[in-house]
């Protein structure tokens, strides 16, 4: 087989969907890391050189590489590397799996196994602290339940949990709620673990056809990206969005949104305005089903206004997480006070799941960008799903169709639930309600050229055009005529280099 992993000169023939005014083409010519030509196969063939490799993809779809506008790449990678108990049928099997990992780890390294569910185990009970002590006498070992809200720790692990954490039963090793939800802060991963996590997550993204991510990250994650980049190992493009708390330091250093280059760049600042629907903490206008709880706003209007104002002055784009209508309303108010009418810093709202018509219109007037997740439709919007269970007006969720009709800018992202553009695209075109659905062509734009705009990179990627970066994905069939059913990612090309082949 020919080795296409080095960038050189390559001519791809297939069904090319460009995301440009001229929507389709027969072939793409790649020279080095850029696209050198798009158009008719015979014409491009005349421009090839002796060393140009020609690859006939026989009617398969060629698209710009997917750009995932909302990921947690390093976190996902760390999670994927953990012993996973979801497929074990007994506690004994789970302990065995943990023991294998302990044997392969240096003494002292923290091991967190995840996703146990005692109802699937023969023994029908959680592990005991003593069982974990036996498996790992020299390593902190924690078993976290599948819900994420309960865990069991051994003696070594307990010794590392500070006295400030209250929900710790130090006799029996049982951890509850906040302790379980913050294990990564209590047991910070090592530098090697961060690097390996990012490697694993990048490989996963490439398998899914993703060539760029807009990552919601922490400084330790940015470090991992930089290190892989220095070692020539970073084969995905990343725009790094950091917590608001880092904004002041960034401003003092003179670093604005956009600092960096086409591989690794600084994105914006992330703020949470509310919580989630699953935990009933997203801020709604009317109560969740069966109670008076309306969720909660995490900041006062005044405080949020001030945060946006300060970030604006520092030249930072904002990514504000707002799920419930009340939170979305509050964020729009803060944006309205602070920003110019044309939204030059391209401020965004993340999720925007339960926007009312008023908020959709207001966001449209202000030119606010919406980073939304079609996966949530697939995960929770079916009849009998979580939205129906928790929300009185549950059908009005994730209204991509309505929002598109009003002409707002929307980029799709996975939120790593799961990281898979194809899953998101299928969820979106097959959504249960008309006001959620968009056409396949529109959905594809929202996973390519639109997110490129969100990170100020529409001039260099997101569509198949001469001079743009040769970031491409090849899907296993002609999706315009045969749809997305059964389709798979066949090839992923980033900067002219083959980074994944099925
Ligand atoms: Zn997220």
DSSP string, 136-191: -SSS-EEEEETTSSEEEE-HHHHTTS-TT--SEETTTTEEETHHHHTHHHHSPPPH
Q: What is the pLDDT of residue 487?
A: 97
Using CA atoms, how far residue 190 sits from 51, 84, 120, 143, in Å, is: 45, 19, 32, 19
Phi and psi at residue 69, to the nearest 5°: -85, 0
Q: Which residues surround ligand 1, an ion (CB under 5 A)?
A: 415
Tokens matching residue 338: 């602070």
Task: Characterize the bridge pairing of strands 150-153 and 174-176.
Answer: antiparallel
Three-state DSSP state, 411: strand
Number of helices and strands in the chain (H, E): 20, 20
Q: What is the pLDDT of residue 1?
A: 41
Question: Which of 476, 443, 483, 447 is CA-nearest to residue 463?
Answer: 447
Residues sharing a CB contact under 8 Å with residue 493, sequence separation 6 or more, in sequence order? 30, 65, 211, 470, 471, 472, 473, 474, 499
> Residue holding tokens 């005044």?
302
CA of 349 to the centre of ligand 1 (A): 12
CA of 240 to the centre of ligand 1 (A): 13
β-pair partners for 61: 15, 475
CA of 351 to the centre of ligand 1 (A): 8
CA of 136 to the centre of ligand 1 (A): 33
CA of 104 to the centre of ligand 1 (A): 32
Q: What is the pLDDT of residue 320?
A: 98
Three-state DSSP state, 103: helix
CA of 347 to the centre of ligand 1 (A): 16
> Residue holding tokens 């930089």?
226
CA of 71 to the centre of ligand 1 (A): 6
Whether the ω angle into residue 399 lies within 30 degrees of 0, i.e. cis, is no
Question: Which of 449, 432, 433 is CA-nearest to residue 441?
Answer: 449
CA of 44 to the centre of ligand 1 (A): 42
Structural contact between residues 110 and 61, judged by C-beta atoms closer than 8 angstroms? no
CA of 252 to the centre of ligand 1 (A): 27
Distance CA 454, CA 8 (A): 30
Phi and psi at residue 344, to the nearest 5°: -65, -30
Whether the ω angle into residue 151 lies within 30 degrees of 0, i.e. cis, is no
CA of 31 to the centre of ligand 1 (A): 36
Q: What is the pLDDT of residue 185?
A: 87
- For 241-301, the three-class secondary structure string (H helix, E strand, C coil) is EEEHHHHHHHHHHCCCCCCECCCEEEEEEEEECCCCCCCCCCCCCCCCCCCCCCCCCCCCH
Structural contact between residues 264 and 295, judged by C-beta atoms closer than 8 angstroms? no
Three-state DSSP state, 401: helix
Structural contact between residues 425 and 386, judged by C-beta atoms closer than 8 angstroms? no
CA of 377 to the centre of ligand 1 (A): 15
Three-state DSSP state, 309: helix
CA of 321 to the centre of ligand 1 (A): 8
CA of 272 to the centre of ligand 1 (A): 10
Structural contact between residues 113 and 78, judged by C-beta atoms closer than 8 angstroms? no
CA of 353 to the centre of ligand 1 (A): 13
CA of 102 to the centre of ligand 1 (A): 31
CA of 352 to the centre of ligand 1 (A): 12
Question: Which of 329, 323, 282, 325 is CA-nearest to residue 301?
Answer: 329
Question: Which of 306, 314, 358, 360 is CA-nearest to residue 337?
Answer: 306
List per-residue pLDDT tens for the chain, 502 residues long: 445 556 689 999 999 999 999 999 999 999 999 999 999 999 999 999 999 999 999 999 999 999 999 999 999 999 999 999 999 999 999 999 999 999 999 999 999 999 999 989 999 999 999 999 999 999 999 999 988 889 999 999 999 999 999 999 999 999 998 898 889 889 999 899 999 999 999 999 999 999 999 999 999 999 999 999 999 999 999 999 999 999 999 999 999 999 999 999 999 999 999 999 988 999 999 999 999 999 999 999 999 999 999 999 999 999 999 999 999 999 999 999 988 778 999 999 999 999 999 999 999 999 999 999 999 999 999 999 999 999 999 999 999 999 999 999 999 999 999 999 999 999 999 999 999 999 999 999 999 999 999 999 999 999 999 999 999 999 999 999 999 999 999 999 999 999 999 9
Q: What is the pLDDT of residue 279?
A: 85
CA of 361 to the centre of ligand 1 (A): 24
CA of 350 to the centre of ligand 1 (A): 8
Distance CA 402, CA 392 (A): 20
CA 312 to chain centroid, in Å, comes to 25
> Residue holding tokens 């078993």?
143
CA of 216 to the centre of ligand 1 (A): 7
Question: Which of 343, 342, 341 is CA-nearest to residue 320?
Answer: 343
CA of 209 to the centre of ligand 1 (A): 20
CA of 499 to the centre of ligand 1 (A): 25
Three-state DSSP state, 227: helix
Sign of CA dihedral 456, 457, 463, 468: positive
Sheet with 66-71: list strands edge to edge: 66-71, 210-216, 237-243, 264-272, 318-322, 348-351, 369-372, 410-412
CA of 8 to the centre of ligand 1 (A): 36
Distance CA 114, CA 84 (A): 5
Q: What is the pLDDT of residue 184?
A: 85
CA of 214 to the centre of ligand 1 (A): 11
């Amino acid at each position: 087989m020919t080795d296409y992993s080095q960038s050189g000169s390559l001519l791809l023939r297939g069904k090319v969907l460009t995301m440009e005014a001229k929507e389709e083409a027969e072939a793409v010519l790649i020279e080095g890391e850029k696209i050198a030509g798009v158009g008719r196969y015979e014409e491009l063939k005349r421009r090839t050189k002796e060393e140009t490799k020609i690859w006939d993809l026989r009617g398969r779809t060629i698209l710009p590489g997917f750009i995932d506008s909302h990921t947690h790449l390093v976190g996902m990678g760390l999670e994927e590397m953990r012993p996973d108990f979801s497929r074990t049928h007994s506690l004994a099997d789970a302990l065995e799996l943990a023991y294998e990992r302990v044997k392969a780890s240096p003494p002292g390294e923290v091991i967190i196994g995840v996703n146990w569910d005692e109802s699937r185990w023969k023994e029908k009970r959680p592990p005991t602290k003593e069982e974990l002590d036996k498996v790992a006498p020299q390593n902190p070992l924690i078993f976290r339940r599948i819900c994420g809200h309960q865990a069991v720790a051994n003696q070594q692990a307990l010794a590392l949990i500070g006295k400030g954490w209250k929900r710790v039963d130090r006799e029996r090793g049982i951890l509850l709620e906040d302790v379980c939800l913050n294990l990564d802060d209590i047991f910070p991963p090592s530098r090697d673990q961060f690097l390996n996590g990012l490697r694993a997550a990048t490989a996963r993204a490439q398998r899914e056809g993703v060539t760029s991510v807009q990552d919601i990250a922490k400084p330790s994650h940015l470090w991992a990206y930089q290190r892989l980049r220095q070692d020539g190992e970073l084969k995905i493009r990343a725009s790094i969005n950091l917590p608001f708390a880092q904004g002041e330091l960034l401003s003092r250093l003179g670093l604005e949104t956009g600092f960096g280059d086409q591989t690794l760049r600084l994105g914006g600042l992330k703020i949470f305005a509310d919580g989630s629907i699953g935990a009933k903490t997203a801020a709604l206008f009317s109560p969740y089903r069966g109670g008076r709880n309306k969720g909660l706003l995490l900041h006062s209007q005044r405080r949020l206004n001030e945060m946006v104002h300060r970030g604006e002055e520092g030249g930072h784009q904002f990514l504000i997480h707002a799920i419930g209508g009340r939170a979305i309303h509050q964020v729009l108010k803060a944006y309205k006070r602070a920003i110019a009418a044309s939204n030059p810093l391209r401020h965004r709202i993340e999720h925007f799941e339960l926007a009312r018509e008023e908020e959709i219109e207001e966001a449209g007037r202000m030119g606010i960008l919406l980073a939304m997740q079609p996966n949530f439709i697939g995960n929770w919007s079916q009849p009998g799903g979580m939205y129906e269970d928790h929300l009185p007006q549950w059908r009005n969720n994730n209204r991509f169709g309505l929002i598109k009709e009003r002409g707002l800018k929307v980029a799709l992202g996975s939120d790593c639930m799961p990281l898979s553009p194809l899953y998101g695209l299928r969820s979106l075109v097959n959504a249960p309600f008309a006001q959620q659905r968009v056409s396949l062509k529109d959905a594809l734009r929202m996973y390519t050229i639109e997110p490129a705009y969100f990170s100020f990179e529409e001039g260099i990627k997101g569509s198949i055009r001469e001079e743009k970066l040769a970031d491409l994905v090849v899907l296993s069939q002609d999706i315009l005529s045969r749809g997305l059913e059964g389709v798979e990612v066949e090839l992923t090309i980033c900067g002219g280099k083959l980074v994944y082949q099925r």
